[in-house]
Amino acid sequence: MHYARTRLVFCGVVTLILCLAGCPNVVEDVPQMGSEKKITAFSFALPPADGRIDQEALTIEAAVPYGTDLSALRADFVTTGIGVSVGGVDQESGVSVNDFRSPVTYTVTAEDGSTADYVVGVTREPPPSSEKTIEEFAFLVPAVAGLVDQQALRISLVVPHGTDRSSLVAVLTTTGGVVTVNDTEQESGRSVNDFTDPVVYVVTAEDGSTAEYTVTVDVAPSTDKALTAFSFLGFPSPCLIDQAAGVIRVRVPETADLASLLAVFTTTGMSVSLDGVEQQSGAAANDFRTPRTYIVTAEDGSTASYQVRVTGVFSLVVNEIDYDQPGSDAAELIELYAGAETDLGGVALVLVNGGSIPGQEYDRIDLAPAGTLPAGGFLVIAGPGVSVPAPALKLQPPGWDASNKIQNGPRDAVLLWDTIGGRLIDTVTYNGVLHQAAILGEAVEVDPTEGTAGAPADSGSAAGSVARLPSGSDTGQNGTDFRFTSTLTPGAANR
């Protein structure tokens, strides 16, 4: 019996050895236990809040709305572990309730039994702001910044005169959440509103409180203060208004009584006065024998002055002409004489070529740059080769630094032309007679010769000129009033 037992034990050992030798994969088939133990997502459904996970520090931070009760919150989470517990209590995502008034430690267990502790901290967001101010308010077009009165909750702006207030776009900055006008949410730089009347902007804060700002837009008073038209009742009275110089030149008939003229005018200003007396267009007569100054007042109180110069009779004549000199004509001149003070604005010296019938204008000289010629004064139109004694005036027209600017005839003429009234002031034909001439821009021809004969010819072989003797004499006869004299007197009395 003892032998048999020993044999049995031996056989079992052999069998075990053979089994182990013939089954080499037995150890490799044993399952390995996982070590994954992360929380990969964490949030709250009520109130909605997402957690920020730091996998290195093993922390989770979440912010919930102000006023949230932290003592009973249900967390939604996703984990790679086989279980999650808090304080030894198994957690179920979206079901388990915890008190987050203090940090809560979530323990994640892996398959292999290892664990990871995530510390979850929950904070409340700050309380909703009660800020609801409009800090800045402006228009881009026109470029105007508003004055904000935070105490009175008023915003005032002044836009330029003529601005259309019915369609303006405001640019604003605010500390509030939403800004509305008539329950319409406003977008800075885009929303259009009518500011003809005050507009109320309602600013709503995060906490729901509101502030109402009243925006008032005023239009600046006009700075316009121009006289745009001026004439007199009862007869034609063309005028030329020089807005830059503030001068109005008016022409009236020679028979007009300058001591009592009734002015008609239009203005862009608020009021017009003369010598401190307010004027109404067409309402009162005034004395215009001397220049009168009108004051125009704008809405903003600023003023502009206009000197009104009225001319009926011109006391201005062509007094001396030297168009031909021995050799080259480098000292040509035309002299004018004023019997009374004469404003030369609007007066032109017109040179006429009498080589054809009608004669044709070949040059025109604006006398306005010479200003005003005093009574008994002389104005000499000439180039640099002519000297003029004081107090006579000299005008050198553009291009008159060369010779041969005045034609030598025959039948050529020199005219003084009123460009405002469109009429002859004085005229003289030399070396012949010319009774027809065309003036540029005028539909009617003029007669350049006064009387039946023209002035005599100048001399090309001896010094001298064609001159009125005595100066200023005008009988209406060119042949009588002018003589050739060998004594040149530019800027002085003829002799």
Query: What CATH number corresponds to the domain at position 429?
Result: 2.60.40.1260
pLDDT digits (tens, 9 = 90+) for 63-103: 999 999 999 999 999 999 999 999 999 999 999 999 999 99
Residue 100 · residue 120 · CB < 8 Å: yes
What's residue 25's pLDDT? Answer: 47
Residues 77 and 213 in one domain: no
Of 82, 126, 129, 73, the residue nearest 102 (C-alpha)? 73
What's residue 17's pLDDT? Answer: 34
| Cα dihedral: 96, 98, 100, 105 (round 10) | -80
Residue 414 · residue 367 · CB < 8 Å: no
Is the pLDDT reported for residue 33 higher than 60?
Answer: yes
Q: Cα(101)–Cα(422) distance, rounded to whole angstroms? A: 101
What's residue 29's pLDDT? Answer: 57
Q: What is the mean pLDDT of residues 434-451?
A: 95
Is the pLDDT reported for residue 234 higher than 90?
Answer: yes
Is the pLDDT reported for residue 24 higher than 80?
Answer: no
What's residue 403's pLDDT? Answer: 86
Q: What is the mean pLDDT of residues 256-272?
A: 98
Residues 154 and 280 in one domain: no
Of 100, 112, 95, 104, the residue nearest 31 (C-alpha)? 112
Give the percent of the chain with pLDDT over 70.
Answer: 94
pLDDT digits (tens, 9 = 90+) for 298-323: 999 999 999 999 999 999 999 999 99
For residue 187, tell me if it sits in a domain: yes
Q: What is the CATH number of the domain that holds 104?
A: 2.60.40.2340
Is the pLDDT reported for residue 2 higher than 50?
Answer: no
Residues 372 and 476 in one domain: yes
What's residue 6's pLDDT? Answer: 33
Lowest-confidence pick of 26-40, 214-228, 434-448: 26-40
Is the pLDDT reported for residue 8 higher than 50?
Answer: no
Residues 213 and 234 in one domain: no
25: helix, strand or coil = coil
Q: What is the mean pLDDT of residues 349-360?
A: 97
Confidence of residue 402 (pLDDT cuts 50, 70, 90): confident
For residue 278, tell me if it sits in a domain: yes
- Say what the pTM is: 0.70
Taking residue 94's Cβ as centre, other Cβ atoms within 10 Å add up to 12
- Which among 311, 333, 368 is the end of a domain? 311
Amino acid of residue 345: G
The conformation of residue 283, written as its DSSP 8-state character, comes to: T
Confidence of residue 214 (pLDDT cuts 50, 70, 90): very high
**How many structural domains is the chain composed of?**
4
Q: What is the phi-psi region of residue 362: left when phi exceeds 0, alpha when psi lies from -120 to 50, beta otherwise?
A: alpha
For residue 17, tell me if it sits in a domain: no
Residue identified by tokens 């022409």 is 251
Residues 293 and 381 in one domain: no
Is the pLDDT reported for residue 282 higher than 90?
Answer: yes
Q: What is the mean pLDDT of residues 448-477?
A: 96
Phi and psi at residue 339, to the nearest 5°: -75, -25
Residues 85 and 189 in one domain: no
Higher pLDDT residue, 222 or 403?
Answer: 222
What's residue 4's pLDDT? Answer: 35
Residue 239 · residue 250 · CB < 8 Å: yes
- Which among 193, 219, 245 is the end of a domain? 219
Q: Average per-residue pLDDT in the chain? A: 93
Q: Cα(288)–Cα(232) distance, rounded to whole angstroms? A: 11
Q: Cα(259)–Cα(264) distance, rounded to whole angstroms? A: 16
What's residue 30's pLDDT? Answer: 57
Confidence of residue 23 (pLDDT cuts 50, 70, 90): very low
Q: Cα(252)–Cα(266) distance, rounded to whole angstroms? A: 19
Confidence of residue 127 (pLDDT cuts 50, 70, 90): very high
Residues 372 and 414 in one domain: yes
CA 121 vs. chain centroid, Å, equals 60
Q: How many residues comprise the chain?
A: 495
Phi and psi at residue 61, to the nearest 5°: -120, 135
The conformation of residue 422, written as its DSSP 8-state character, comes to: T
Of 410, 403, 406, the residue nearest 429 (C-alpha)? 410
**Bond preceding residue 490 cis, omega within 30 of 0:** no
What's residue 409's pLDDT? Answer: 87
Residues 265 and 325 in one domain: no
Residues 427 and 366 in one domain: yes
Specify burial of residue 215 (Cβ count, 10 A radius: 0-12, 13-18, 19+). buried
Give the percent of the chain with pLDDT over 90.
Answer: 92
Of 387, 380, 384, the residue nearest 399 (C-alpha)? 384
Q: What is the mean pLDDT of residues 465-491?
A: 96
- Parent domain of 233: 227-311
Helix, strand, coil % over all residues of the chain, rounded to 5: 5, 40, 50
Residues 323 and 438 in one domain: yes
Confidence of residue 327 (pLDDT cuts 50, 70, 90): confident
Lowest-confidence pick of 7-11, 183-187, 441-445: 7-11
Q: Which helix (H) or strand (E) holds 4?
A: helix 2-22
Q: Cα(482)–Cα(480) distance, rounded to whole angstroms? A: 6
